[in-house]
Amino acid sequence: MRAKRELNQPLKIKHLFIIITVSILILFASNLLLQTDVVNIRGKVSNPTIEFLYPIELAKDTVLIELEGIVVEEDCEYLIQIESYGKRVYAQEQLSSMLSLGLESYVERTFSSKQPDKPLFRVMSGPYLNKSQVNNARELLVKNGRQPLIYKKCTKT
């Protein structure tokens, strides 16, 4: 009698069918359970509107200039706006700190172009007769944590 040789297979065919069946069931169950309602959201492209507001001081020959601008020999003086406040009390506090720095400062009452009925109190320094003086004062303010604006006020003769 001959002995039958049995193949030692690590996985029998019935085990393979069981694994395939279980994996298919897991795929279907996960598809049902994890199904989400993700919607592709596209933003609308809108056309922005630009609104130009001009300060009231432009009518009084006050012009905001950049430091890199070209200086023309004219009868001009320079002013520095240190800060603007809605209440005079805060402007007075800022004024006292500017006077302690040695700057010739004052508080000026003005009105906003966005809210013409509400007064603003801006702390100003100057007048300075030349660009060198205004730049020195500006550097002092920048070193002390301020962001000043420089105004050039010219009179035509």
Backbone φ, ψ for residue 60 (5° rounding): -100, 25
* pLDDT score at 100: 83
Q: Which residue has the higher pLDDT, 124 or 73?
A: 124
Does this model's pTM top 0.85? My answer is no
- pLDDT-derived band at 150 (thresholds 50, 70, 90) equals confident
The pLDDT tens digits of the residues spanning 65-118 come to: 665 555 555 678 888 888 888 888 888 888 888 888 888 888 888 887 787 788
* pLDDT score at 156: 65
For residue 115, the one-letter residue type is Q
* pLDDT score at 24: 95
Helices (H), 34-150: 88-100, 131-143
Sorted by where each begins, the domain ranges of the chain are 56-155
Residue keyed to tokens 């795929």: 27
The proportion of the chain whose per-residue pLDDT surpasses 90, expressed as a percent, equals 7
3-state secondary structure of 118: coil
CA atoms within 13 A on the CB side of 134: 26
Residue keyed to tokens 């007064």: 119
> Above 70 in pLDDT, residue 6?
no
3-state secondary structure of 63: strand
CATH of the domain spanning 56-155: 3.30.70.1070
Mean pLDDT of the chain: 78
The proportion of the chain whose per-residue pLDDT surpasses 70, expressed as a percent, equals 69
The pLDDT tens digits of the residues spanning 32-65 come to: 888 767 666 676 667 777 776 666 655 566 566 6
* pLDDT score at 15: 85
